Structures are given as structure tokens and as C-alpha cells.
Structure 1
Amino acid sequence: MISRRNLLAMGGAACGLAACGNGIGSNGGPQIDARVDATRDYLLNRYPGTQELMGKAVGVLYMPLVTEAGFGIGGSYGRGALRINGATVDYYAVTSASFGFQIGAQQYAHALFFMTPEALSGFRRADGWQIGADAKYALPDRGGSLGTDTTTSRAPVIALVFGQAGLIAGASLAGSKYTRIIP
């Protein structure tokens, strides 16, 4: 039987694990920018359709490494950069917490393509932004193409989750909170 105290301790450990490997307390901006560059290059090489998506987007938030861990109570953490016209304009952290049937850990990357000036402006003005129902997911397939269609291309925000590795099935951005940081 697991007591409440043990469950909370395991949740704290899961959240601590979620922060591992994300460069907490590291070189800040230059390290995040280097990871963002590598992530952008990976997307362009692995999924050629992202070039067109990047060209249409007014801004792209790259989250090169998000670590998620859970054992009943879970959490995730990652850091990245918002780029407009190819230049970093702000740094962000993404966090989430969850409760329910879950066990394991995984890492993944994601990018949010802001397709309208209003969507980008709303994101930048928000004090802790969460992905909404109006965001659409583009799914990369094994052949390297990007699953964008007419419906997706008209969305104000397009989310692309990729590079998953670990022991938790799937990755979701639902419930994730994005907050501007100073690295």
C-alpha cells in the first residue's frame, strides 16, 4: 500500500527527474541557442516540409529538449527560444504537471509555429501561456514528410512534436505552460 506521503515523495522525485538534462543552471542563452540551432537544422534535414512552414510562420518557438517523468504524479520541463525572422527574441521554459496512471520517463522536442501576428502577439503578451484548442498538430511520418493539410495550414498555431525517446507512450502538450525566462 502506498501512503500519501510516499506518493508525494515519488511525485517530487518525478518532477526532479523531469528537470534533469535540460541545462538548468548552465550557460543560459548561448547553450539554449545552440540547442535551438541544432533542432531547427534537424527539422529541416529530417522533415523538408518544415521549410515551407517556417517561411509562412511569423515566429517559431523551439523547445529542443523536454524531459517528462512520472510515477502516479508526473511533471515535465524544458527550455527553448522564440525566433522571429531567424533571430532569438525571447527565451521560454515549458512546464507541466500531471496525475494519474503513469510510470516512466521520456524526452522529446517540439516546435510551435505561430502562423498569425495575433497568435504570436497573444503568446508574447501572456503571463504564462497554455496551448489552446485552436492549435493544430502536424505529425511527422516515418517517410520524413510533415502532416500538414489545408486545415492545419490555416491554424493560428501549429505544434510539431518529434524526437521522442523513452518509456512513456506518446507526448502531449496539453496542460503545458510556457513562461518567459531570463537564462
Structure 2
Amino acid sequence: MKAYLEAGQFVTTHGVMGELKLYPWADGPEFIAQLPRLYLAPQGGAPLEIERVRAHKGMCIIKLRGVDDMDAARAYTGKTAYFARADARLPAGRYFVQDIIGCEVRDAATGAVYGTVRDITHPAASDVYAIQTPQGGTVLFPAVAEFLGELCPQEGYVTVRPIPGMFDGGEVDAGAD
């Protein structure tokens, strides 16, 4: 598993005191606020120490140590921010989306392989897994308790309990919008 994960993107400056707006790709401002530092490279590198974080219209307003004016903050706009996995705390049984993507999808009862998780979206109350089948199609799978079995990203798989027909020709066109 990756040691550094994507936190979001710095989209613009906020005010004249060096604050930045971060569009969070993680669970939101509350998650970002627990982090002590961010990084600008997927391998880590020099840490950007976080002085404070607050939520604002679904975004994070972040003040980084040493970034004290708008010109200094402007240098970060458009850049992706990363966090160290070691700095993050997740409740038991919760996983990072980036750890589930790439996992093999297996039937909980038979062990049959249905494909690989290629993407996870959050269109409503629950996540939806885009599962690429061995035939090259994509099945959109609702990640709800009734259908989702074990999540084992450390071992590289998830188990599912699909209803009949869920993986039988119900693929969506991979190129469809």
C-alpha cells in the first residue's frame, strides 16, 4: 500500500494572509483538519506544516506554516496535496478508497472472480464500485451491506454477495458518460 495518499488540490488563495483553498479528495475538511502536515509529491518530500484548517463551502481553508501572504500562497495553486498514511487515523473497518481500487472482486460464497475495482464514486448515500469484468465491461456495484462482504485491501481483494443477474450481462459501456 502507498505510504502517501492524495488529500486534494489547492485551487486558489483565500484572502491576503497566505491561506489556501483546498478541494478535498479525502473525507472532507474534518479529515484534513486532523493531519499535521501535507506534501506536494506522491513520495512525500519536504513537509508543509499545517497551522490551521477550517471548513468553508465544502472546501478546506488551510494556513501553512511559512506561507504568510497571497504571493507565497499563489505558488501552491493547482498543485495536488498528499498526506502520509502514518499521519491519518481511520476508525476500525474503514479503508482509504485508494486502497480498495485495484482489488480483485470475489463471490463471498463461491470464490468466483467477477473482476477488479477500477473506480469508486459517491453519487448518493452509499459508494458505487465500478468493477471491470474479465470480458472488458464495467459493472456498477452498490457498496451496501446487503451486497458487500469482506474488504481485505491488505490481501488485495473484496468479497461480494450479488443478487442473480448482477454480473450476468449487465455491464455498462466503458466509454459511456
TM-score by length of 1: 0.27
Structure with the larger helix share: 1
Q: Which has the higher contact order (CA 8 A, sep 6+)?
A: 1
Structure (1 or 2) with the larger CA radius of gyration: 2
